Amino acid sequence: MTELSVDVRVQVARWRNLLVDAARCGSLASPLAALSHPHWEPMELQALWWLRAESLLPVGVLAMRLGGLAMPRLSRLVDRLEAGGLVRRERSVRHDRRRVRVRLTEAGHALTDELNAQVQERMAKLLSPLQGETRSALMDILELWVQALTVQARTAEEVAEENAELASVPDELLRASAA
């Protein structure tokens, strides 16, 4: 484990304990986990919900959103949703035709409106123990946290891109630029 300050260790311990307590109350499960529909599996419903949230997703990103779902399983899931008229696959014409993205159809949008109502109801129940100003303060803090995570993720992506670019530069050029 990396070197952490005493303050950070105390906060991590507090957060861990809060998560354990929230789990004991049954409040830690994802509001997406229990989506239900008479015809569609929970994982298919989660895929639809993510497509509603993000409009158009490459299949690899959709697999990650679904917890790192293996590509063969994701392919079967998308096949089923496509056969049901809820999604359509799109190939990138400009870049690489092997790159496939998935988008909701009108029927998919209609179903995800129902799913979103289920998710919102579950989330409202999670927030209901808090009153007005306290609930608003929690949302403000969570927004700050997500903004910080977004900056951190972008920085990590930029470093990875720079490393990939450096890896593609021939060794002779690197030696010449260092001289």
- Pinpoint the alpha helices (H) of the chain: 6-24, 42-54, 59-65, 71-83, 106-127, 132-168, 171-178
Residue closest to 42 by CA, chosen among 72, 75, 77:
77
pLDDT at 44: 95
pLDDT at 96: 62
The CA distance from 39 to 45, in Å, is 10
Residue closest to 147 by CA, chosen among 139, 137, 135:
139
Q: Which residue has the higher pLDDT, 179 or 125?
A: 125
Mean pLDDT computed over every residue of the chain: 85
The CA distance from 150 to 97, in Å, is 30
pLDDT tens digits along 45-74? 999 999 999 989 999 999 999 989 999 999
The CA distance from 42 to 103, in Å, is 18
pTM summary value: 0.71
- Tokens of residue 100, six digits: 């496939």
What radius of gyration, in Å, describes the C-alpha atoms of the chain? Answer: 22
pLDDT at 40: 93
pLDDT at 170: 61
Count CB-CB contacts under 10 A for residue 90: 13
